[in-house]
Structure 1
Amino acid sequence: MSYRKSKVWPALFVTGALSFTAACGGDDGGSGDGKVTLRVSWWGETERHEMTEEAIKVFEKQNKDITIESEYSDWDAYYDQLTTKTAAGDAPDVFAIEIRALGEYARNGQLADLAGLVPTDDLDEKLLTSGEVDGTQYAIPTGANAFTVMANTAVFEDAGVGLPDDSSWTWEDYQSLSAEVTGSGGDIYGTQLNFNDAYLRMFAAQRGESFYEGDGLGVSAETVAAWFQTHLDMIDAKGSPSADRSNELGATDIEQSLIATNKGAMGMWWSNQLSAASVGSGEEIKLLQIPRDPSADSSEMFLQPAMFWAASSKGGNQEAAGKLIDFLVNDPRAGEILGSDRGLPMNDTVLKEIEGGLPAADKASLDFINGIRDELADPPSAYPDGAVEIPDMLERYGQEVISGQQSPEEAAQAFLDEADGALG
């Protein structure tokens, strides 16, 4: 599939970032004849790129005076190239950003105030506030999702094991069920380990602790160690693969996950990834609530923007940038094209208009979130500066724990010490 718009792939970010910056050199995109060129950047895989390009073409037809130049990469390259460009004063006019980086970019003066540029009357108010930093609307959520347990129903059936009652199951239930599936025979596992910070956030909240407090972490060493220990316990119970195999899986996308390859019954993923898991497996994948501590009143699951659209504070075409963001989050045609790839649309009007045509996986995500919406905690606000480094830290220390290089207690304290130096 060919496109006329420019693409910037990961290799370019590594080998050509400086020359690209020099070539663009602060051009505001205006041509002097009323026509505007906007550079737009995001991360993702091929399917997201194609959907976004399709939506952009519709926007250009509706706005003949605006031309879009697309710059995208995979996730691993994204923030490296975005940081390079913003440091050089050459940020894209519009770009995707996620909550871990939002606060830092806003506080460093890189993001435009979108109040008045993007209509927000029809957007979910609670989700919208997650795009605020110090009372200013710097970013608009692309859509809503939740961190969940996904269950491959075919693997459960083949194992002769029933699905759990996810309204009340505990971490002990999760481990026992996973071990039962693995022990049923065949080359399958009960679950796949996960060191996502959203997982630890909920685990800590069930114990009465906040993951972040002010400019630092609020979670205790005891809770982080207990969380690391659950991963060791899962391996010991044979509910998940060995440490070596688990560490290999930790670097894979959902398309290569155990549930998507029909090698595992469960795994933890964001709800907007349900379609990818379903397509990969060819089976029905069900969303389940996160298990809970027996003493907790709820799972502490929360609704979170999948990501945000933001505009550069240095760009000379912020009005046009606002138009594009408005289209992407408020236009039913964009909603129809993009679906739930960046989370379920947070505009109720758009969602109602496209709901009947949503794919089965998107409908399942919507039904799941609507079914537990009253139990969900409020969406998070912008994280402290440096929070973008936290997920890699947790993954690294988690892998060291299950490989026997550090005890859960040693890794917990080391993580907190390193995080303390990175945050603030």
Structure 2
Amino acid sequence: MKKKWFKTLTGAVLVASLVSLTACGAAGENKPNQSEGSEVKGTDKPITLRIVWWGSQTRHEATQKALDLYTEKHPNIQFEPEFSGFDGYFQKLSTQAAARNAADIIQMDAAYLAEYAGRSQLADLSQGINLDDVDKTLLDSGNYTGKQFAIPLGNNAMGMGYNKAIVDSLGIKGPSDGWIWDDYFQFGIDAKAKLGADKYALYNSLNDLFSYDMYQLSKGKGYSVTQEGKFNIDKDTWLEWANKHIELIKSGVILPPDQWATDKIGDPAQDIVINGKSLIRRTFASEFPGLANNMDEAGLVTSPKGSGYLKPSMFWSVSADSKYVEESKKFIDWFINDAEVAEILGTTRGIPVSKKVLAAMESKFTPIDKAQVDLINKTAPNAQPFNPGAIGWGNFQKDYGSIVDLLSFGKSTPEKTFEEIVKKASEYEKNASKIAK
């Protein structure tokens, strides 16, 4: 996948790199196609579309402005928005979808697409949306069993965001592109020595499956769950990870679990880096604006070597139970293709997918926007293949976190915790096997 998406990337001029990222062929056109020829048959009667998404306050505010603009242009369409942080988002969505009460328009993550499309909970979006200016490989990331169940909204990469102002003031070697996990842990130790007793350097990633996947990828052992739905956590690698975290929690390098538990990425009050509880955290490129806009100076570097990967930042999907599928398609068409809404949204959902929108925006990119592009470009050459997830495993991340929490709080041992993870994973494997049949 990585070779298809990013084979044209070079370290040359930012604009050239950015345009190649989305297979650009639209240079010289100043205004994006505003859904020409892609009008979806709908209705003029008053309707309310429920729409849900996760993200930072920056994304929330930009999305709300976009919704207001759409209603201004289409007075019969009102929105009932609901937004939150990522934590708990898919647990709530799972409950709603099972009760056939999901929102009309759903922000979907690539890791969960198979879960919802495989259960026939999403509408087919193969027709009725102008996708001519979206790179086919990126578009295919929203395809499941030959149907388009999700429309990508941006390009993305996994990296590390940190409080650059504080790190620079400590006089230590800070995070850098091309570092390895040993460098990451040593950075935490060095920073702790300068911070003092009640300050912490590293975020507590022990119960975060995303972070563990990054570590296991760096060891060449793949993702924790295969695309076929098989449990794949390597015991020795996981014990190494767990023991290192326990050591650093005890020495005060890693944020204690009771202070980490309420973390919400991008939230000015609860994000552990924004509020000063930690110096660094994993972050997707698309999440960086929420971090950078709430700090004096934020930095963004690649994930430790061998652990970075590329993915669609997120998608819009439509519930299969929606009464307004056609109206929802019309909104999505506008959202990805309209120049005016692109000005509002900026890069709050990653680098825009429409080549024409991108061509119109590139000259206006801020340093924060360019940092996102830079992370994608630097990750691309050695990116791990992205794992879109497996049907039946949608809630495993949550259960994994709950099990490992006991270890974080000193109520279990690494060996016992791993046994519990394996036990829980076997339940998911059996369930996935039943669904497949």
Scaled by the length of structure 1, what TM-score is found?
0.80
Aligned-residue offset at 1:310: 0.7
Which residue of structure 2 lines up, in the alignment, with residue 39 of structure 1? 49
Residue number in structure 1 paired with 2:27:
none
Shift of 1:33: 6.6
Q: Distance in 2 between matches of 1:258 and 1:91?
A: 31
Provide structure 1 residue ranges, at least 5 long, that are not aligned to the other structure: 1-31, 293-298
Corresponding residue SS for 1:39: strand
Cα distance in structure 2, aligned partners of 1:400 and 1:287 = 31
Q: Offset of 1:89 from its aligned partner?
A: 3.8
Distance 1:230 1:50, change over 3 A: same
- Following superposition, the deviation at residue 179 of structure 1 comes to 0.6
* 2:194 alignment partner, SS class: coil
* Matching residue's letter, 1:42: V
Q: CA deviation at 1:127?
A: 3.0
Q: Deviations over 1:169-203 (max 9, x none)?
A: 22222111211111014453322122332222222
Q: Choose from 152, 158, 161 the match for 2:169.
A: 158
Per the TM alignment, residue 110 of structure 1 is displaced from its structure 2 partner at its CA by 1.6
Report if the CA contact (8 A) 1:130-1:380 is conserved: no
Paired residues for 1:290-369 under 5 Å: 290-292=303-305, 299-369=306-376
Q: Is the contact made by 1:38 and 1:93 (CA closer than 8 Å) also made in structure 2? A: no
1:275-294 superposed matches below 5 A:
275-282=289-296, 284-292=297-305
Matched, 1:205 2:191: no
* Corresponding residue for residue 143 of structure 1: 154
1:183 to 187, 193, 216: 193
Of structures 1 and 2, the one with the larger relative CO (CA 8 A, separation 6+) is 2
Residues 10-66 of structure 1 deviation map (CA, whole Å, 9 limit, x = unaligned) = xxxxxxxxxxxxxxxxxxxxxx974362513213465434322221233334445x5
**Structure 1 pair 238–81 and aligned structure 2 pair: CA distance change class (3 A):** closer
Residues 1:357 and 1:196: Cα distance change in structure 2 (over 3 Å): farther
User: What's the offset of the Cα at 1:328?
Assistant: 1.5
Query: In structure 2, what is the Cα distance between the partners aligned to 1:171 and 1:201?
Result: 13
Q: What is the rounded CA distance, in whole Å, between the counterparts of 2:96 and 2:195 in structure 1?
A: 52
2:282 corresponds to: 268
CA distance in 2, matches of 1:268, 1:87: 31
Residue of structure 2 in register with 1:196 after alignment = 208
Is residue 163 of structure 2 the alignment partner of residue 117 of structure 1?
no
Aligned AA for 2:299? K
Shift of 1:220: 2.3
| Segment of structure 1 superposing worse, 263-272 or 106-115 | 263-272
| 1:26 aligned residue | none
CA distance in structure 2 between the aligned counterparts of 1:369 and 1:147, rounded to whole angstroms: 8
In the alignment, residue 110 of structure 1 is paired with which amino acid?
Q
Any conservation in 2 of the 1:131–1:308 contact (CA below 8 Å)? yes
The question of whether the paired residues in 2 share the 8 Å contact of 1:306 and 1:342 is answered with yes
Distance between the aligned counterparts of 2:250 and 2:43, measured in 1? 68
The answer to whether the Cα contact below 8 Å between 1:42 and 1:78 also exists between their aligned partners in 2 is no
Q: Is the 8 A contact 1:99 1:308 kept in 2?
A: yes
Report % sequence identity: 26
Q: 1:120 to 1:234 in 2, by over 3 A?
A: farther
Query: Which residue identity does 1:67 align to in structure 2?
Result: I
TM-score (norm 2): 0.78
Is 1:416 the counterpart of 2:422? The answer is yes
Judge conservation of contact 1:119–1:326 (CA < 8 Å) in 2: yes
2:249 to 235, 246, 269: 235
Relative to structure 2, which stretch is displaced further, 326-335 or 108-117?
A: 326-335
Relative distance call for 1:347 and 1:92 in structure 2 (3 A) is same
When residues 163 and 125 of structure 1 are mapped into structure 2, their CA distance, relative to the original with a 3 A threshold, is farther
Q: C-alpha separation between the residues in 2 aligned to 1:414 and 1:180?
A: 34
2:32 maps to which residue? none
State how many pairs are aligned: 380
Please point out which of 395, 400, 419 is paired with 2:406.
400
Q: Which runs of structure 2 are paired with 1:244-263 in the superposition (5 Å)?
A: 245-254=256-265, 255=268, 256-263=270-277
| Per-residue CA distance 1:90-145 (angstroms, 9 max, x = gap) | 43332222234322221221211111222223223333222122222101122232
Contact 2:217/2:307 (CA < 8 Å) preserved in 1?
yes
RMSD of aligned alpha carbons? 2.6
**Structure 2: gaps of 5 or more residues:** 1-41, 433-437
